[in-house]
């Protein structure tokens, strides 16, 4: 198959491209290589498969409608996985226009290109952040998600609504995946695990918000990719039992699906930090801070639906996942293991 991945130099995008090439697919990657975080890391992710004969890389933003149309015209992808987006809850508070441009305008360009080129399946990244002010745990795809606590979450909720309109109007199969706190090797430097590891190793205190009491449904990158590979192979189908009288928020009479992808095993932040300290062989200095704007105290994914439809679920423990991250981190940054 010809599969187009946007955000292909990103954390999840690069890992997905690597796995798809390993199973023999033709992959077209699109990424604008912005400077939100270390460009060298993005180039290093890409270098793992940039010279593969089945891989083509296009340096472009999804906000550039003309370039996106050219990519679709030239390569005619059968499946599209949209992972390009401006990420980050806190960054969205200070830089709202970037999120509107990338996450709304850019996604609209992808939807329109998928429609005009009759793409068989659009899979796109949503986020656990859409659950916002909800406090009923675990988070289920059937819950109301109309109370986002950050603009980032609001743009991702908007993506789900936009996708549904295209599924309804044009019978475009779309599947939205609500990722829960993805971590692991080749991850993002703006995420807690990366920041904590760096600070611990150089002897600086780590900033712990909400006094470390909040919990997160940490999900290891390999588990995310395993689920993605299964999802993209099965285009979303209409739900024949869907009715507007008792609407199911995660399905539709159109070919539209929403899934949570999480571990279903929330871990307290302090336990996550302890796992990192054990893997590094060094105790962290801690700076205790209050909850940050846009944050939520707890996340917990109900993964009943993804398990039922695809017979798969994340299985990597936090201890094992953090250990693998530390091993990669030491190798990538050439840090001697002093344990």
Helix 192-202 to helix 269-280 angle (10° resolution) is 50
| Dihedral (CA of 329, 332, 334, 339) sign | positive
CATH of residue 326's domain is 3.90.25.10
Sort 136 into a burial class: Cβ within 10 Å, 0-12 / 13-18 / 19+.
Answer: exposed
Q: Which residues contact 86 (CB under 8 A, 6 or more apart)?
A: 36, 92, 95, 98, 99, 101, 102, 103, 152
CB 299 within 8 A of CB 217: yes
In a domain, 321, yes or no: yes
Centre a 10 Å sphere on the Cβ of residue 116 and count the other Cβ atoms it contains.
12
**pLDDT digits over 57-90, tens only?**
999 999 999 999 999 999 999 999 999 998 877 7
What number is the average pLDDT over the span 273-282? 97
Q: Say whether both 59 and 202 belong to one domain.
A: no
Query: Do 279 and 171 belong together in one domain?
Result: no
Asked whether residue 50 is assigned to any structural domain, the reply reads yes
81 and 145: one domain?
Answer: yes
> Stretch 28-41: mean pLDDT, rounded?
94
Contacts of 178 by beta carbon, 8 Å cutoff, 6+ apart: 126, 127, 128, 130, 141, 258, 259, 260, 261, 262, 301
Give percent of the chain with pLDDT exceeding 70: 99
Beta bridge partners of 123: 81, 175
User: What confidence score (pLDDT) does residue 44 get?
Assistant: 98
Question: 260 with 128: CB under 8 angstroms?
Answer: yes
Whether residue 183 lies in the annotated active site = no
**CA–CA–CA angle 248, 250, 251 (5° rounding):** 70
> Of these residues, 152, 166, 220, 272, which one is catalytic?
152
Query: CB neighbours of 48 closer than 8 A, spacing ≥ 6?
Result: 14, 18
Asked whether residue 87 is domain-assigned, the answer is yes
| Cα 253 to the center of its chain, rounded Å | 26
Distances (CA, A) of 146 to 150, 174, 248, 296, 320: 12, 20, 15, 15, 35
pLDDT surpasses 90 at 295: no
pLDDT at 32 (0 to 100): 96
What does the pLDDT look like over 128-165, one tens digit per residue?
999 999 999 999 999 999 999 999 999 999 999 999 99
Q: pLDDT over 90 for what percent of the chain?
A: 89
Together in a domain, 172 and 196: no
Q: Report d(CA 72, CA 78) in Å as an integer.
A: 10
Structure tokens at 265: 């095993």
Residue pLDDT, tens place only, 183-214: 999 999 999 999 999 999 999 999 999 888 89
Question: How would residue 127 be classed by pLDDT, with cut points 50, 70 and 90?
Answer: very high
Q: Is residue 307 part of a domain?
A: no
d(CA 209, CA 307): 32
Quote the number of domains for the chain: 2
Asked whether residue 136 falls in the same domain as residue 146, the answer is yes
Residue span of the structural domain in which 145 resides:
2-183+218-261
Per-residue pLDDT band at 338 (split at 50, 70, 90): low
95 and 73 in a common domain: yes
pLDDT for residue 94: 83
How far from each other are the two terminal CA atoms of the chain, in whole angstroms? 45
Domain membership flag for residue 302: no
Residue 14 phi/psi, 5-degree rounding, is -65, -40
| Same-domain check for residues 257 and 287 | no
Q: What is the CATH number of the domain that holds 15?
A: 3.40.50.720
Same domain, residue pair 92 and 227: yes
Residues 293-310 have a mean pLDDT of 93
Instruction: For Cα atoms 227, 18, 156, give the angle at the middle one, nearest 5 degrees.
Output: 50
Instruction: Answer yes or no: is 82 within a domain.
Output: yes
Average pLDDT over residues 291-319: 92
- Point out the least confidently predicted range of 32-41, 82-91, 189-198, 255-264: 82-91
Q: What is the mean pLDDT of residues 262-275?
A: 95
Structural contact between residues 263 and 310, judged by C-beta atoms closer than 8 angstroms: no
């Amino acid at each position: 198959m010809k599969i187009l991945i946007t955000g292909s130099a990103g954390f999840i995008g690069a890992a997905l491209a690597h796995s798809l090439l390993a199973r023999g697919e033709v992959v077209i990657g699109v990424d604008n290589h912005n400077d939100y975080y270390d460009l060298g890391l993005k180039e290093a992710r890409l270098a793992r498969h940039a010279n593969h004969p089945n891989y083509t890389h296009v340096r472009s933003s999804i906000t550039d409608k003309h370039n996106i149309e050219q990519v679709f015209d030239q390569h005619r992808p059968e499946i599209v996985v949209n992972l390009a987006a401006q990420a980050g809850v806190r960054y969205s508070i200070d830089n709202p226009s970037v999120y509107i441009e990338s996450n709304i305008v850019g996604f609209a360009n992808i939807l329109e290109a998928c429609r005009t080129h009759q793409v068989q399946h659009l899979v796109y990244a949503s986020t656990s952040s859409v659950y916002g002010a909800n406090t009923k745990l675990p988070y289920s795809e059937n819950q109301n998600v109309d109370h986002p606590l950050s603009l980032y979450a609001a743009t991702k909720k908007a993506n789900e609504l936009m996708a549904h309109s295209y599924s309804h109007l044009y019978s475009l199969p779309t599947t939205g995946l609500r990722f829960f706190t993805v971590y692991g090797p080749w991850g993002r430097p703006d995420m807690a695990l990366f920041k904590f590891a760096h600070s611990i190793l150089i002897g600086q205190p780590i900033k712990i918000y909400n006094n470390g009491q909040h919990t997160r449904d940490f999900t290891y990158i390999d588990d995310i990719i395993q689920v993605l590979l299964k999802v993209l192979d099965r285009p979303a189908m209409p739900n024949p039992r869907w009715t507007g009288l008792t609407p199911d928020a995660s399905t539709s009479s159109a070919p539209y699906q929403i899934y949570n992808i999480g571990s279903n095993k929330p871990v307290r932040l302090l336990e996550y930090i302890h796992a990192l300290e054990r893997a590094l062989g060094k105790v962290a200095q801690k700076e205790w801070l209050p909850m940050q704007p846009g944050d939520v105290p707890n996340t917990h994914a109900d993964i009943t639906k993804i398990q039922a439809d695809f017979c798969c679920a994340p299985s990597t423990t936090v201890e094992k996942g953090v250990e693998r991250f530390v091993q990669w981190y030491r190798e990538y940054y050439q840090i001697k293991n002093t344990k």
